[in-house]
Structure 1
Amino acid sequence: MTPDLHTPADLLQLSGSYWATCALHAGVALDLFTPLAGQPGTAAELAERQHLEPRALAMLLDALTALGLLTKQADRYEAQPAASRFLSRSSAEYLGHIIMHHHHLMAGWSRLDEAVRNGGPLRDPVINACDDSVRESFLMGMFNLASLLAPRIAAGIDLTGRKRLLDLGGGPGTYAVAFCRQYPGLTATVYDLPSTRPFAERVIGAAALSDRVAFHDGDYHQSDIPGGFDVAWLSHVLHADGPEHCARMLAKAVAALEPGGLLLVQEFILDDSKDGPLFPALFSLNMLLGTSRGQSYSGAELTELMTAAGLRDVGRLPLELPNGAGIMAGTV
């Protein structure tokens, strides 16, 4: 939905909204929610435990309380239930990885005007980051996001009778795991860079699916993709490249499919006019900042790319997903 910005107050609130974002990021980076999940504490106690400056910490805790993430009784703070559930490292539903990924992107976003002047990008692709914590926050952040949607998506796509799934650029393998859980007769191969393997093996092992989900090292830009699959799943990989690279990637994915195979593409999909929805439009700017030719694509553009790759009956599946995400399907 397009924001309704008509007054100076509306514009100034939008302009300063990053203050709240930075407070959340600091709370996660300093791991404040884990010790306050179910156990109230004072700023002084938490400062000693986390090796922080007490006065500054109290100011941050008060701001997090004002944001509704903490409660405060006298001088003791405690995480709200949602913060305990999603921001505590001890929770199985921890979302801190994707929040820290957003945090690592902020330096580039602050220079968006420079990227628009020069055509970008201003940073290397996150997957190539030398800093292990940056790469981990990206890959496990993708796991955070996919974990929220993958079971629902797997249940909403009919793969009955299909035996071998290729999760191309599958990162930690979250979707491969979800599809195999949904369809007991299915096996899957996650194809991604060697640096991704430890994260994928952690996720696959935790799901107890190492016997059905394999990891294959490779760079889909440079190497051939193994064949013999009857489903190919490409989730949020096309947006990292320009149309020419996307065409080559899709051609390789199609070549990996047996006759009658199904290719599925999940992306943040723009309207054909490309001026909405809001999240895909903003996400396209994120690609400007971090890739040489990446962008969000419209439904019409994805249809054209998939059809040119040799797919038939290309169309968008009737699945309602957040942030303008959608799934395109076509058959060989």
Structure 2
Amino acid sequence: MEAKVWSPADLLQLSGGYWSACALHAGVKLDVFTPLADRALTAHGLAEVLKSDARGVAMLLNALAALGLLEKSGDNYADTSFAAEFLCRTSPRYLGHIILHHHHLMEGWAHLDEAVKSGGPIRKRVSHDVGEDERESFEMGMFNLAMQVAPRIVHQINLSGRRRLLDLGGGPGTYAIHFCMQNPDLTAVVYDLPTTRPFAEQTIDRFGLTGRIAFEDGDFIAKGIKGTFDVAWLSHILHGEGPEGCAVILEKAVAALEPGGMILVQEFILNDSFDGPPFPALFSLNMLIGTPAGRAYSEGELFNMLAAAGVGDLKRLPLELPNGAGIIAGTV
């Protein structure tokens, strides 16, 4: 990978980049964009809608306009077409949940130095120990992200002849939904913690797939997996565990597969020298902050873990996915 040529201006822009992120987070948290999707308002008018201070609202609106997310005409503000599509709560393409999840992560990232020094987490695990608002932003944020890439993935993976899919740690079930829509003969089970059930059932029902996709709750690391399947989908769950935990997850996923079953693992994948791509390398720090042993893994590490679990015919699928994500496939 070609080394970046840095300048002092680049360095300072990177250092202060959180200002822009915080302005976006505040806009989403206050729900600035929803009322401005249908009509233009002055800062004072929007402040009345939001029950907020007019001076503060005006400053935030001007910053969001400077970032290109709002349009300003005279004293009136309105959403850009992009903001109306992705930042208005009533839009089916709303991305506010994942943005709020990023907002909840910021406090932990501000103490990254402490996590590096101690080598252990300084943030509660979202899947276990947080309040309902934060859990909703996480679960539905995962839905937001998966909705961006699942339609691109499912039509490039041949599941013809397969009948029963395990979506392990599947959260709101977005991938199970898209695999089932792509494969009319496929049924699926989303397997995750009990706290995930309401989000999964709501999402599955929204797509009219309640009869084909079931939710099974339980700690699959501690107790194992009920039933048998001919394809298992593990999307972004290995990075939450250290190598020993990954070995347990893969062992139990393989045990739930029939002979000839397919296993598909999606992760943010590091190169084998661990110094890129940038997103997986930074994501590893996010796991340091929030988990006892989790991290991003390299392609070689993932191949070795899958082989040790008894998976053969391993290959990385030739898919171009965002943020250094990749999918490794194999059979048992």
TM-score class, shorter = over 0.9
Deviations, residues 53-80 of structure 1 (Å, cap 9, x unaligned): 0001100100000000001111000010
**CA distance, structure 2, for counterparts of residue 193 and residue 180 of structure 1:** 22
Query: In the alignment, which residue of structure 1 is the partner of 2:264?
Result: 264
Query: In the alignment, which residue of structure 2 is the partner of 1:232?
Result: 232
Q: Give the counterpart letter for 1:240 in structure 2.
A: G
Q: Give the counterpart letter for 1:20 in structure 2.
A: S
Note the C-alpha offset of 1:313: 1.0
Secondary structure of 1:266's counterpart equals: strand
Note the C-alpha offset of 1:5: 4.5
Per mean C-alpha deviation after superposition, the further-off stretch among 126-135 and 202-211 is 126-135
Secondary structure of 2:263's counterpart equals: strand
Q: 1:2–1:278: 8 Å Cα contact kept in structure 2? A: no
Query: In the alignment, which residue of structure 1 is the partner of 2:292?
Result: 292
Query: In the alignment, which residue of structure 1 is the partner of 2:11?
Result: 11
1:88 equivalent in alignment to 2:104 = no
Secondary structure of 1:121's counterpart equals: coil
Note the C-alpha offset of 1:163: 0.3
| Identical pairs, percent | 63
Q: 1:229–1:261: 8 Å Cα contact kept in structure 2? A: yes
Q: Give the counterpart letter for 1:316 in structure 2.
A: R
Q: 1:37–1:84: 8 Å Cα contact kept in structure 2? A: yes
Deviations, residues 98-133 of structure 1 (Å, cap 9, x unaligned): 000000000000111111111120111111233100
**CA distance, structure 1, for counterparts of residue 247 and residue 131 of structure 2:** 31
Note the C-alpha offset of 1:151: 1.4
Query: In the alignment, which residue of structure 1 is the partner of 2:100?
Result: 100
Q: 2:266–2:325: 8 Å Cα contact kept in structure 1? A: yes
Q: 1:262–1:329: 8 Å Cα contact kept in structure 2? A: yes
Cα distance, 1:107–1:181 mapped onto 2, change above 3 Å: same
**CA distance, structure 2, for counterparts of residue 56 and residue 191 of structure 1:** 44
Note the C-alpha offset of 1:294: 0.2
Note the C-alpha offset of 1:221: 1.4
Secondary structure of 1:91's counterpart equals: coil
Cα distance, 1:5–1:22 mapped onto 2, change above 3 Å: farther
Secondary structure of 2:137's counterpart equals: helix
Note the C-alpha offset of 1:7: 1.4
1:148 equivalent in alignment to 2:148 = yes
Note the C-alpha offset of 1:4: 2.9
Q: 1:271–1:298: 8 Å Cα contact kept in structure 2? A: yes
Query: In the alignment, which residue of structure 2 is the partner of 1:180?
Result: 180
Query: In the alignment, which residue of structure 1 is the partner of 2:247?
Result: 247
Q: CA RMSD in A?
A: 1.0
Query: In the alignment, which residue of structure 1 is the partner of 2:27?
Result: 27
Structure 1 gaps of 5+ residues are none
Secondary structure of 2:26's counterpart equals: helix
Q: State the number of aligned residues.
A: 332
Q: 2:124–2:130: 8 Å Cα contact kept in structure 1? A: no
Q: 2:268–2:323: 8 Å Cα contact kept in structure 1? A: yes
Query: In the alignment, which residue of structure 1 is the partner of 2:207?
Result: 207
Q: 1:240–1:293: 8 Å Cα contact kept in structure 2? A: yes
Deviations, residues 247-269 of structure 1 (Å, cap 9, x unaligned): 01100000000000000000000
Deviations, residues 261-288 of structure 1 (Å, cap 9, x unaligned): 0000000000000100000000000000
**CA distance, structure 2, for counterparts of residue 326 and residue 187 of structure 1:** 24
**CA distance, structure 1, for counterparts of residue 61 and residue 55 of structure 2:** 10
**CA distance, structure 2, for counterparts of residue 127 and residue 47 of structure 1:** 35
Q: 2:270–2:324: 8 Å Cα contact kept in structure 1? A: yes
Deviations, residues 277-304 of structure 1 (Å, cap 9, x unaligned): 0000000000000000000000000000
Note the C-alpha offset of 1:20: 0.3
Q: Give the counterpart letter for 1:214 in structure 2.
A: A
Secondary structure of 2:267's counterpart equals: strand
Secondary structure of 1:313's counterpart equals: strand
Q: 1:194–1:217: 8 Å Cα contact kept in structure 2? A: yes
Query: In the alignment, which residue of structure 1 is the partner of 2:163?
Result: 163
Q: Give the counterpart letter for 2:121 in structure 1.
A: P
Note the C-alpha offset of 1:86: 0.1
**CA distance, structure 2, for counterparts of residue 134 and residue 264 of structure 1:** 29
The alignment's TM-score, normalised by the length of structure 1, stands at 0.99
1:313 equivalent in alignment to 2:279 = no
